[in-house]
Structure 1
Amino acid sequence: MIFKRMRKFRVRELRLSSKLAITYVLLTVVPIALIGLYSYSQYNKSVQDPLGEYMPKFLNQANNDIEQHFQRLSELSELVWRSEHVLSILRRETKSDRTALEKDAAYINDFLSETYVNGSNPDVLGVYVLSGDQLYYSSRWVFQEQDWKWQLRRYGGSEPAQWEARLIQQGEAKLRFANNIPYVLIKKQLYDTDNRKLLGSMFIAIDLAFIDRIFRNIEPEDEGRMWLMSESGMIVYHTNSELIGTVDANKKSYPLLNGSFRTTGSDNPAMISLNQSSRGLILAHSIPLKKLTGEVDAAGRMNAVILLGVFLLTIIVFVYFSWKFIQPLKRLSGMMKNVEMGKFQVNYDLQSRDEIGTLATSLNSMIATIRDLIQKNYQIEIRQKEAELYALQSQINPHFMYNTLETIGMAVEEGETEAVVDMVTLLGRMLRFSVSNLSRSVTIAEEVQHVKDYLTIQKFRFEDRLAFEIVDQRAGDLQNLYSPKFILQPVVENAIKHGLEKRRKLEIQISIGQEFGARSGQVEMVFRIRDNGPGISTERLAELEKLLQNESFQHKSSQFGLSNVNARIKMMHGSEYGLQLHSIEGLGTEVSIRIPINAQPYENEQNELQG
């Protein structure tokens, strides 16, 4: 009788409550055992992870504060440009007699003392200016080394002009102040942009006591240690002053320079957190693990109990709802993942009249509707983008053509045959560049040649009132890199239009270089167009920046200026690229154009345009 009943027993014939009960028995024992082992193994790390998570954030903030402080102090070198007398002394090439040299040195030393040392910069220990064979200085303290002047001259050298300031650490400089004050030297070259000449180098000795104030904001544990070191491991500053100037012997074994990790294989394991700044300085914090685990044992046990209770509750809920809801939902989830990947040819046939069946029917209907809408909207969007691109690229200023032809006519009347030939050749090449190439991208060499042709024609027209220079600051062939078409001429045209209205002579410089982009996180191609025009007022500059932030094409079809070029770049490459404006009213304007480095033209762009 019993065997007969067993033969009749079928799992599918059981009630849902019985199925859930059997599943619960089979699935709770093993998961609870695994969760228990996992919780036990993770307990020690769980009490250390909070510090490993928030300490790098504090270090990052502190490192940023240190970087900003160094940046502000490095900008003090700009104060030297305020004294015309000091500049005239530094610019002087011919050597004066001894009396004149001593008089000049006294004047510059007094200037350094009043401006830097005795001013509102308590962190400045001393300032030293090396120009040619002369060394001018003012300092609160003196170096212990008798040959300190010779040591400074080692770093003055005949190096190429550098815009960025350089940090020279105390251990690198091998110079000590009489009272052993920890310091760093900020070296900034004094480059005379007016005469394009390197006047010398300025060294600013900075008291590192300000780092103590930053460290106090972090409030490390009693047994914690903090220090600041270079990429080579040389300790610039340490909470233990005796270690300043030494080398962190463990630096090479650190597995990372941004984040936290635990040391093993030592008698006193510790949690070490590191953060490396953009300048290369590494801020470190270390605390023994026993200091952490001793304070959170009770909380760890309580968390384990809570975790066990929550786990048991979730197991019960899971057992109750799994077979009734999860399985069909998983099938629906798999279908939606296919839709997310662009595979819209899916259909979920669920023979059920409950809520899940209704949901499956609704999803099938929705996917079919989306499939039709995407097909229609895709074609509309493609045509709209192509129309916008062509509208942006096809706007050619008729005034330029009229003025150029008028200039050619005047040259013909005056018998300047060679000038006429040159202008006609340049104009023909510009027009061929504008209308013969339907692609959205050109090589950078072609784009630069086009703007050079434009400036040369304008030079014929305005003669001595216009001067320009194109500088390639990078090493490489511009023939192998691509950029959007017509991104330089509109900016240069804008500079000429506004610059010559209020300037007797306009100077334009176009520089081509590569820089690391903070927003894109990649090396970018950067064009900078500088002019000495009237500049832009603060109110107008704010309006232009607001206009550049708006990527919409509305109300822009009538102008081929900064907003037009910026919108086109953002549409092609993304919001992290585009134009940036820097202007000082009365001094001039600089427009920076940032694009990604493209070694290939836009993929299939010619075919897309023709299709």
Structure 2
Amino acid sequence: MLTVIPMSLLGYIAYSQYAASIEEQVGEYIPKLLDQANVNISNQLYEIKRLPDLLYNSSQVISILRKDPYDIRSKTLQDEFTVNNYLSRTYINGANPHILGVFILSNNRVYQSVKVPYYDFGYESLPYGENFELKGNEEMIILPHQTTLHFEGKPPYILLMRQLTDFENRKNLGTMLIAIDSKFLEGVINKLNLNSYSHADLWMMDQSGRIIYHTNPEYIGKVDEEIHQYPKINGSFRAMTDHETSLISTNHLESQEWILVHRILAKDLMGRADIVRNVTIIAFVIFVMISTAISILVAWQVSKPLNRLARQMERVEKGTFDVVHSDSGKDEVGMLTNRFNSMVLEIKHLIKEKYEIELKQKEAELYALQSQINPHFMYNTLETIAMAVEDDEKETVVRMVTLLGRMLRYSINNKDLLVPVHNELVHMKDYLTIQKIRFEDKLDFVVNEEFNTKKYYTPKFLLQPIVENVVKHGMVYGKVTTIETSVKIVPNINTGVEEVVFQIKDNGPGTREDILEKIQTSLNSDPMAKRDSQFGLINVHARIAMNFGLNYGLQVNSEIGEGTQVEVRIPVIAEEGIHDWKKD
């Protein structure tokens, strides 16, 4: 736009100024040519007006014209032949090629010689034997509309009427009429090249607007209705003709009070300039299109990497850091891309470093938790075994030692963080069996498996901390505490994605609402901030959220006197997809 608008405006102003200059030059040039044309036309008219003088070169013709009207018809016909023959030799075949006919009216006699047949002259009605005299000037020019004379084919003409005088006797010999084809004007005009413009019009008219000659023959003899708009002085002016702007030039022929008019349309006047203008416009449009295409291409080459960089920033904003772009140029955008890549790599390195530190810290806390739990459990179990030995309960001792050994082997094997759900349930059953032996009839448990637990996997040590918490806080004096555990696969009510759900429910005293809110707050905070009595539950929840996201974890529901229910949700990890979840 910054290029097209100024250039278009400048071109329009330049063209307008050029058009005005051309019009001004033509407006000054054409009247000069018209003036020269009128001079030449005046000279031609002067020559035409001298044509009757050729008649005086023949004394025989003059003597015939001096005679009075004859009574003898034969003598009259002989004189008529003599005069007509002279008129034919002198005027029709020699004096001027544009003469259409010559007529002499003398003493009611008519002599004539014509090149083109004529009709309807009107002198036949004149009284024979009387003189026909021209009244007024000695000579005058008559236009076709002022007479009834018509030639075959209706060629345009002017009629010169001249009084014939016998200079010796000072008498009137009669009237001579010479019809001149108006084409003699065309020869004068063509010599000055006034019709150099193909669509220009040129015509000669009298003071009333009657057109004597026109470049378009259809207008000859008609009246120019716009003559009142033409100025009385010679020059050029602009006018509207047929809803188009024209440049009109006029010049007056003072000797005959004729007006020579030249008209050309402004658009034809600028014909050649319009061709240059159109070529320039086409070239300019092509240039603009090429420039626009180049601009779009350059802008696209600049905007494409910027848009790509913006999309990469959006991905980084959403937490995706694998957006490093290696195809970067050496321009400013390439430098910006390189800096962005360096920033992303640095952020990714820092996140990874922090993640590894936190992971190691969580693992350390996990191992610390295992170390914290295992000594207490070991001490209580060994104490129970010692009491059974004293009571000589060999089968109980063997069973407890077998269960304890299997639990220790399961705990020591930390190679796999994901184990079959079946193994985790076995580990929980071993723990509850030992506690049942220890507490005898005060504790009971039930495990319900609703799918093939050997084909699905779960993180280790999810269930033991929960049931251990039940044993510690859920037992009521004088009442059998029952721990009911179920595992099933159900769809999530919000997402519809299937999940593995562990439910551990007891019939203990329940948990007060304030303590339940405290537990829920702890689950939503840093699980490693402190180690209270709910540390086992918080650790389980944190491990699930860390491995599978915040959509999974642990939830506690409890009512006073009704017991407590702990629900653990993890994603479905099938045997064939275990490699997607395992970590080195």
Give the alignment's TM-score, normalised by structure 1: 0.43
State the structure with more CA Rg. Answer: 2
Structure with more contact order per residue of length (Cα contacts < 8 Å, sep ≥ 6): 1
